[in-house]
Amino acid sequence: MALREILVVPHPVLKQVSKPVEAVDDDLRALMDDMLETMYAAPGIGLAAVQVGVPKRVIVMDLGRDEDDRQPRYYINPEIVWASDETAPYEEGCLSVPEYFDEVERPAKVKLRYLDYHGKAVEEDAEGLFAVCIQHEMDHLEGVLFIDHLSRLKREQAIKKVKKLTAA
């Protein structure tokens, strides 16, 4: 396993639409292992492959609160097959937009379909933090950052803050 560089705004790769994964193989599992290690080191709770410069439809996530409670999850070619009309606000942050947080409104519950670490098809319901996080990460697969859900002014402020932070 290896740590990978996390791209930050306004890196152009972050705006790319990720390509579907053709086969779940050892190379893909190695990528997911690297992504998980990178996410833990950051630290974060979710990471899309495009954030480490690989525009493939792959996400890793772990909503466990500490090292003793790790519950890594892997999502290959995830898709939302249903979303509730009810929405919920949540203050989000992003490893590609370091040290910036703002409230985003998303569907409160979703049903998703994806392939797991071994290529097995899974369908499951998500709500709460899980629903927020999976939708946030799936946005990355479409070239969308959480700041794209904000006003133009807030988005520009976030990018300016990150540029200043990364220039230091």
Which residue segment(s) compose the domain that 107 sits in? Answer: 12-167
Residue 155: inside a domain: yes
- The CATH number of the domain holding residue 156 is 3.90.45.10
Identified catalytic residue from 86, 92, 99, 137: 137
pLDDT tens per residue across span 28-54: 999 999 999 999 999 999 999 999 999
Q: SS in 3 state form for 26-87?
A: HHHHHHHHHHHHHHHHCCCCEEEHHHHCCCECEEEECCCCCHHHCCCEEEEEEEEEEECCCE
pLDDT tens per residue across span 77-100: 999 999 999 999 999 999 999 999
Please answer whether residues 134 and 59 qualify as being in contact, where contact means their C-beta atoms are separated by less than 8 angstroms: yes
Please answer whether residues 31 and 54 qualify as being in contact, where contact means their C-beta atoms are separated by less than 8 angstroms: yes
Per-residue pLDDT, averaged over 63-76, amounts to: 88
Q: Please indicate whether residue 137 is annotated as part of the active site.
A: yes
Give the pLDDT confidence score for residue 68 in this predicted structure.
Answer: 79
Residue 6: inside a domain: no
Scanning the structure block, which residue is given the tokens 């402020």? 157
Averaged pLDDT of the chain: 96
| Number of separate domains in the chain | 1
pLDDT tens per residue across span 101-123: 999 999 999 999 999 999 999 99
Scanning the structure block, which residue is given the tokens 């200043």? 164
